Structure 1
Amino acid sequence: MQKFVGTGVALVTPFTPESEVDEIALRKIVRFQIENGIDYLVVLGTTAESATLTSEEKERVKQIVIDENNGELPLVLGVGGNSTQQVVDQLQNDNLTGFDALLSVSPFYNKPTQEGIYQHFKQVAQATKMPIILYNVPGRTASNMLPHTVARLASDFENIIGIKEAAGDLVQAMQLIDNCPKDFLVISGDDMITLPMVLAGGAGVISVIGEGFPEDFSRMVALGLDRKVDEAYELHYKLAPAIDMIFEEGNPAGIKVVFQKLGLSTAVVRLPLVEASANLKYRIHEFMDSLANA
């Protein structure tokens, strides 16, 4: 699945000042990715604030992205939850036309055992023929999908093609790369350790910072995949301050400030998230001005 090697981005859902889905802004953001080197788009992931979108809004977001993308980049759809049966029902009943793969998060809140995680994804994999990218993010799910569980799933189900690994643990990422089948995609879900993961044998990233700085970040990943280490790290350290800042007050509050500064959307998020503070907005704007003037 070479189409998912490189830089994918987890798209935000932009809102109007009245907190409605902003179609014009979403189209601008999709176009911004296409024109600046991003390899694929992830729709309705955590960064999209999908937990606060209605079913109707989710369908609208999907159709807007499909329409604006117009077949230019591969599309990945976020489909996951903490009820296995609900995820299976969604896969069997929703219209998945236009998407090339699914991103499915490990069940959250329930805190399943490793066997429970395996059985969950067994049901998910058997419910669809579409390629599935697992998503491990213990900071949100309260359970860590361990490398031996991932390797077992990768070996047992041919449509489980990769994992977005966001445990923030480079050793665990290396264990995944070492223990999973050679064609299995280990994709970084942590922007700050993307380059070390790529250099260790990872397939790239599904990024947040990448959608705000797509040209530099996708170039960094490409250089890493080409083993041009010094050039890649130059870009890493160039963007590292921004990576820290955009997650300082939660995601996607920070990255939406970047889009506000770029004139692509507002910085509005939905409760229980709140907009970035004035101080954080100032520092992000200052950093972007320094890049522009460098």
Structure 2
Amino acid sequence: MTRLFTGAAAAVTTPFSKDSVDYDSFKNHITYLKKNNIQAFIVNGTTGESATLTRKEKTTLLSIAIDVADGDIPVIAGTGSNNTQESILHSKEAEKLGVDGLLVITPYYNKTSQKGLIAHFSAIAEAVSIPVILYDVPARTGMTIAPETLEVLVKQHDNIVGLKDATGDLAHLNRLQYVVDEGFSFYSGNDDLALPFYSLGGHGLISVIANALPKEYQEMYEAAQKRPKQAAQINHKLFPLVDALNVDVNPIPIKALISHLGFGEYSLRLPLVPLEKDAQTVLTELFDHTRKDG
């Protein structure tokens, strides 16, 4: 089984201008990411504010990402929701556009059981022929993919090829690893746990902070494979900024940094609102200090 990617992928932000998507800034941002060694674009995910994007906006963003990627790196579309039929619709559309894979979250709000998870993910995987990465983030969904559930899904569907683990539970990762073969890919969904995740055999990171520091996060992944001491040094340097992003819910803090880099206005769609000015200043000054030290 060929992995969709290894190393640092960016869960790409969506820039807005007067509540409209700023497609030019989006293109400039992902061009920057590609030039700075990002390993994949994750478009229309949580960090991209997918819950407040229209169907047309999502399609346009994917089309731009596919054009910029130009076959050099994979484009992975966030197509999950708590509505199975809607997820199937968006997944089919993304496949038709030419994306390389899908990222599909566990249902939220109405939630489901483990049996329901199997039925939900199976319906989506069977509707497409491209790879599917499952997304487990219980802090946002209120439920977790059980190891037994993952085992069933992977055995039944060849195109379920990976899992983004944002549980923050490294013991859970170990349990999941026991039920799949070596070809299955595990990606951390927690920037602050990237290095220990790699040490346990993780294959990469679907990252928020890599939107602003793509090169640095790929360097840490590569060092972790053969030079653990260097990887620890990189992690030590970057961790204060990662920790500072907890000042508010994602993607509120990271969008302040993306705007600071020059990729559009600092704007979010309701119900999200920007950081207060003093909090923005603290964050951007720490970011500048981190880059300078690098």
TM above 0.5, yes or no, is yes
Instruction: Say if 1:93 and 1:282 are closer, same or farther in 2 by CA, change over 3 A.
Output: closer
Match of 2:12 in 1: 11
Tell me the matched-pair count: 292
Does structure 1 conserve the Cα–Cα contact (< 8 Å) formed by 2:91 and 2:102?
no
Match of 2:254 in 1: 255
CA distance in 2, matches of 1:271, 1:93: 26
Q: Does 1:59 pair with 2:46? A: no
Q: Does 1:41 pair with 2:48? A: no
Q: Does 1:174 pair with 2:179? A: no
**1:48 aligned counterpart, secondary structure:** coil
Match of 2:143 in 1: 143
CA distance in 2, matches of 1:75, 1:138: 24
CA distance in 2, matches of 1:130, 1:95: 7
Which sections of structure 1, spanning at least 5 residues, go unmatched?
A: none
CA distance in 1, matches of 2:82, 2:93: 18
Q: CA deviation at 1:231?
A: 0.6
CA distance in 1, matches of 2:247, 2:174: 26
Letter in 2 for 1:255: I
Match of 2:134 in 1: 134
Letter in 2 for 1:266: E
Q: CA deviation at 1:24?
A: 1.6
Does structure 1 conserve the Cα–Cα contact (< 8 Å) formed by 2:13 and 2:251?
yes
CA distance in 2, matches of 1:90, 1:255: 26
CA distance in 2, matches of 1:265, 1:96: 29
Sequence identity of aligned pairs in percent?
34
Task: Map residues 81-230 of structure 1 onto 2, 5 A cutoff.
Answer: 81-92=81-92, 96-224=96-224, 226-230=225-229
Q: CA deviation at 1:94?
A: 5.5
Does structure 2 conserve the Cα–Cα contact (< 8 Å) formed by 1:176 and 1:186?
no
TM-score (norm 2): 0.95
CA distance in 2, matches of 1:85, 1:54: 16
Q: Does 1:264 pair with 2:263? A: yes
Letter in 2 for 1:286: E
Does structure 2 conserve the Cα–Cα contact (< 8 Å) formed by 1:3 and 1:39?
no
Which sections of structure 2, spanning at least 5 residues, go unmatched?
A: none
Q: Does 1:243 pair with 2:271? A: no
> Which whole-Å deviations, capped at 9, do the CAs of 1:32-66 have from their partners, x for residues lacking one?
11111111111111111011111121122112222
Letter in 1 for 2:138: P
Instruction: Say if 1:89 and 1:20 are closer, same or farther in 2 by CA, change over 3 A.
Output: closer
Letter in 1 for 2:240: P
> Which whole-Å deviations, capped at 9, do the CAs of 1:102-123 have from their partners, x for residues lacking one?
1111111122111111111111
Does structure 1 conserve the Cα–Cα contact (< 8 Å) formed by 2:82 and 2:111?
no
For the aligned residue pairs, the C-alpha RMSD in angstroms reads 1.5
Instruction: Say if 1:22 and 1:152 are closer, same or farther in 2 by CA, change over 3 A.
Output: same
